[in-house]
A = this chain, B = another copy of it.
Amino acid sequence: MGTTQLDSVQEPKYWHLRTVLSEALDSEFSVGEILPNERDLAARFGVARATLRQALEQLELEGRLQRRRGVGTTVAPPRVGVAVGGEQHSWPGAAGDAWQAVDCAQEIPAAAVAAALETGADEPVHTVRRSRMSGGQLVATELLHIPAASVPGLTAIDAPSGAARARAVLRELHRLDLEGQDRAVELGSARADDARELDRLPGSPVLVVTTRFTVEGRTAALSVATYRADTCRLTFGDSAGVEIHHDPARRAS
């Protein structure tokens, strides 16, 4: 056959495009550089803009690109490793913790939260909001649910509300003897409020880390943390975590 290779076995255009762009990013662009706009790129590759966008979406999902409305598409830096607690258990808000308390409210939890807390459906719960910075950027938000029964020493006088109140709740929590913790990670999509905080669009992919803290066999606190999936690599274990970044030498198909 004279032809080196026809597109052969029905690879979707957007997938092929993703591969081509990916290689171009490796060889011809550096971190932070701005790509041509979508209309130009689409024209250059002879596809509709929607198809080009499908390829860009893939690359954004993989953390290779960053797109911002009104600005443009830039080459993303490698994902930041974000430590998510290792071997030893510790309470949220302990020394050296990367989180920052934002505020706190006492409320009746949603049914699913109450179920996970193993409390009655109408038992009051303190909900502490925290956020986490990394490299000058907000990378995660957290809702920390603590049954009021877990922190009986807390008085309304400690602080009425706001960050001070949140810290007071955490202080009370630290008086308990942490017995163990379970953790789960799954893919989710950012709710509108989280999206706004994380500077993403609603529905953006996020990694949801759910942690249950147990004291005397009961659930004393429940954390639901939402990490930007595009920029974060969650690391567990002793040290900084493995780095395998995008591999230029590996073919995608």
Contact = CB atoms under 8 A, between A and B. Distances in A.
A176 interface: no
Interface in A216-242: 222, 224, 229-230, 232-242
A187 interface: yes
A203 interface: yes
Interface in A54-81: 58, 61-63, 79, 81
B110 A229 contact: no
A112 B244 CA distance: 6
A188 to B, nearest CB: 6
A232 B183 contact: no
B185 A185 contact: yes
A150 interface: no
Interface of A is mostly: mixed
Q: So how many copies of this chain end up in the complex?
A: 2
B224 A244 contact: yes
A205 B184 contact: no
Nearest to A145: B244
Contacts of A191: 252-253
16 contacts: A15-B192, A110-B249, A110-B250, A111-B249, A112-B244, A116-B242, A116-B244, A180-B237, A182-B236, A182-B237, A183-B235, A183-B236, A183-B241, A185-B234, A187-B207, A212-B242
Interface of A: 11-12, 15, 18, 58, 61-63, 79, 81, 87, 110-113, 116, 180-189, 191-193, 202-203, 205, 207, 210-212, 222, 224, 229-230, 232-250, 252-253
